[in-house]
Amino acid sequence: MFARLALCSRLPSRIRQSNACPVSIRAFSQAKFSLPRPHGKSFAHRSELKQAKRIVVKLGSAVVTRGDECGLALGRLASIVEQVAVLQNQGREMMIVTSGAVAFGKQRLRHEILLSQSVRQALHSGQNQLKEMSVPVLEARACAAAGQSGLMALYEAMFTQYSTCTAQILVTNLDFHDEQKRRNLNSTLHELLRMNIVPIINTNDAVVPPPVPNSDLQGVNVISIKDNDSLAARLAVEMKADLLIALSDVEGLYDSPPGTDDAKLIDIFYPGDQQSVKYGTKSRVGIGGMEAKVKAALWALQGGTSVVIANGTHPKVTGHVIADIVEGKKVGTFFSEVKPAGPTVEQQTEMARNAGRTLASLHPEQRAEIICCLAELLTEKKDEILSANRRDMELASASGLFSQPLINRLSLSTAKLNSLAIGLRQLSVSSRDSVGRVLRRTRVANNLELEQITVPIGVLLVIFESRPDCLPQVSALAIASGNALLLKGGKEAANTNRILHQLTQEALSIHGVADAIQLVSTREEVEDLCRLDKMIDLIIPRGSSQLVRDIQRAAKGIPVLGHSEGVCHVYIDSEASIDKAIDVVRDSKCDYPAACNAMETLLIHRDLLRTPIFDQIIDMLRTEHVKIHAGPRFASYLTFSPSEVKSLRTEYGDLECCIEVVDSMQDAVDHIHKYGSSHTDVIITENEDIAEQFLQQVDSACVFWNSSSRFADGYRFGLGAEVGISTARIHARGPVGLEGLLTTKWVLRGEGHTVADFSEQGSMKYLHENIPVPQGSFN
């Protein structure tokens, strides 16, 4: 018989298993798998991995074993089992190729030997001499024989927690080379999968010959494990698996040995790229090494199975690494036969960074020329731009996937393009006073002068939804500030974004820096872009509050500039002008309801209830078709009230608003601090003292008196353009224009000065004299 089969007696139904999934692996565990795809061709893109029906998970020796290589990493193994069980309960067909029998057996045998020696010594000498005992060299096959049953019992106990049944299969090379045994193996595995059982496969190391000379078995630092990489690849192809996930102790495949200078993780590996990779030594345990993994992966890929090599030992990712891979996230190295026509996003980022450094070194007049050229192209090519925009509008409307407010934001017009061009020309003037401006100059000591100057931040990533007019605005700001820029727009504006980016690169090319601004058009997920923490210096989201929150959660290593919500308030004081109140409230709510600076909550002083000003405001809102939601206090004053608000922190983004009653200006300030989003808040009053108190006390990025909240905009502030509105309290706040995209560096000029010169025994003294900086002074 080709294999030893150990099958548990309980065969739980798929229905009972689907209800047994834990909720600890996020919403991933709640999804149900769709229909399988025909086998024969591997997936071309990571995003398609969600369709994988039959999956082989290979656990390398370094993943399964502990750091001391005597025993198993139980916590790590438990999290992997949980993920496999969740996928199985979704309706996928999971198989595990595992190492670990030798390590488990070595632990058991070492324990037995030590125990036996201690008993014999105690009988002979009457005292314990454990410290002097030595453990003999343990033969790997004996370790495997002793460890197989314990390893399987452990798997079975873990999977039982999820009502998932397992079966053990031990194989050797003969089981693949002998046709009859091969058919038997295939039949057994298919039957197990049909019964919703997870096969756990391992090489039968108890009978196979050692793969290397016995010297490799000496000591405690090396455990000889049969190469499971080729086994996993052969099994995946034999069973026509859709995906092979090979977990090891490295992040994936690098272009040179990990840990060496300039070693870069390869996101996608294509057949034929082997010559560009330098392999290092194998892992601390196992016999395969990365070269063996790559060969096995390419063999599986050729057989129609997609492959991902990833780290299964990192404590921060082990708990969700398999789930992330199946969800199509950028984890490890993905093997694909389809090479994209254009550069990868990593290559685009590198190109942008290199060209961005050249852009920053240009003279301010040259950067201004580029911006003016872009402004001219927007008007010259308006017919082409509007034609592309019409195609996007038609596709968005026909899809039925987008709301009307979003489609409205997608629309461009001649007036919008003209307004954009005006703003860019305005920005070109201010760009002459940006990079390299001297902010401070200090004489530290004689012939030792210090300057603080403005410099670009580096590489910006701007992710925006719908609004294609964002692209030239942000591009112009990046050019003015000397920053490299990576743009990721929504697919609903793909045609418009494409032509606007082409025009931007045409403008940049007049000074040879066309690569400084890149448009990401590949299938990169936003979350994957947010993980490029070694390549991107700042992320700026432009879109819905949900998009901003998602990016803030995903970008753990990169600063995010933006606001998650625009819950803007207008407070009408008891001493407000009727005309000003009506005009400001109408404009704040109705001018552009979808904007982040639109009013969402109207606060009214209690004394204004049942007065003409209150009645006129309500009549105006009804005339403008604004749906009113009553706050708790406002509802208590009414016999028949509008629908009571569900939350006082709601950003409606439409012709809706909340009305609430407050007792005083201070009450309004407290309400804003409790329920607002620190975006933009307004007071309407004729009392200057009350107004000034409001302006000073409200802790928001923008605070206005008798003016619409819609003025919170970079163009209206005279900034020329903005990359967004920030509610953060450091770096930049409010509408972020050119100044918000600059940082500083310190330049010190001396003549061989040393710190020792200023010690007690030194000959020099610190002066720290401020040197006046003339306006417009540049480094």
Is residue 217's pLDDT more than 90? no
Distance of CA 288 to the CA centre of its chain: 32
d(CA 474, CA 430): 15
Read off the pLDDT of residues 312-348 as tens digits, 9 standing for 90 and up.
998 777 789 999 999 998 899 999 998 877 888 888 9
Is residue 206's pLDDT more than 80? no
User: Which stretches of 601-687 are DSSP H helices?
Assistant: 612-623, 632-636, 665-675
Average pLDDT of the segment spanning 633-644 = 84
Question: Are the C-beta atoms of residues 244 and 307 closer than 8 Å to each other?
Answer: yes
d(CA 602, CA 619): 14
Q: If phi over 0 gives left and psi between -120 and 50 gives alpha, with beta otherwise, what is residue 259?
A: left
Question: Are the C-beta atoms of residues 486 and 520 closer than 8 Å to each other?
Answer: yes
d(CA 352, CA 521): 15
Is residue 192's pLDDT more than 60? yes
Is residue 30's pLDDT more than 70? no
Question: Residue 538: which H helix or E strand, with range?
Answer: strand 538-542
Read off the pLDDT of residues 700-733 as tens digits, 9 standing for 90 and up.
999 999 999 999 988 888 877 788 888 887 778 8
CB atoms within 10 A of CB 659: 22
Average pLDDT of the segment spanning 615-638 = 94
Range picked from 60-74, 480-494, 708-722 for highest mean pLDDT:
480-494
For residue 591, CA distances in Å to 594, 653, 655, 724 come to 9, 12, 10, 19
Q: Return mean pLDDT, the chain.
A: 85
Closest CA to 50 of 25, 31, 23, 73: 31
Q: How confident is the model at residue 564 (pLDDT cuts 50, 70, 90)?
A: low
Q: How confident is the model at residue 282 (pLDDT cuts 50, 70, 90)?
A: low
- What is the chain's length? 779
Strands 459-464, 538-542: pairing is parallel
d(CA 196, CA 143): 31
Predicted confidence at residue 557, as pLDDT, reads 85
For residue 478, CA distances in Å to 29, 52, 412, 460, 721 come to 41, 41, 22, 8, 11
Predicted confidence at residue 280, as pLDDT, reads 60
Average pLDDT of the segment spanning 216-245 = 69
> What secondary structure does DSSP assign to 721-749, as a single string?
--SEEE--SSS--EEE-SGGGEEEEEEEE
d(CA 672, CA 389): 39
Is residue 627's pLDDT more than 50? yes
Q: Count Cβ neighbours within 10 Å for each residue of 488-513 and write b for 16 or more, e otherwise.
A: bbbebbbbbbbbbbebbbebbeebeb
Average pLDDT of the segment spanning 634-641 = 84
Query: Phi/psi of residue 513, each to 5°?
Result: -125, 40
Closest CA to 439 of 736, 744, 719: 744
Is residue 87's pLDDT more than 50? yes
Average pLDDT of the segment spanning 406-434 = 89
Read off the pLDDT of residues 140-151 as tens digits, 9 standing for 90 and up.
788 888 888 888
Q: How confident is the model at residue 776 (pLDDT cuts 50, 70, 90)?
A: low
Read off the pLDDT of residues 126-174 as tens digits, 9 standing for 90 and up.
554 545 555 566 777 888 888 888 889 999 999 999 999 999 999 887 7
Query: Phi/psi of residue 646, each to 5°?
Result: -80, -35
Is residue 754's pLDDT more than 50? yes
Predicted confidence at residue 624, as pLDDT, reads 97
- Return the higher-pLDDT residue of 777 and 705: 705
Least confident of 99-103, 117-121, 532-536, 722-726: 117-121
Q: What is the pTM of this model?
A: 0.76
Predicted confidence at residue 139, as pLDDT, reads 76
d(CA 103, CA 757): 61
Share of the chain above pLDDT 70, in %: 86
Contacts of 711 (CB under 8 A, 6+ apart): 597, 702, 704, 717
Contacts of 619 (CB under 8 A, 6+ apart): none
Is residue 285's pLDDT more than 80? no
Q: How confident is the model at residue 552 (pLDDT cuts 50, 70, 90)?
A: confident
Predicted confidence at residue 134, as pLDDT, reads 57
Average pLDDT of the segment spanning 248-272 = 85
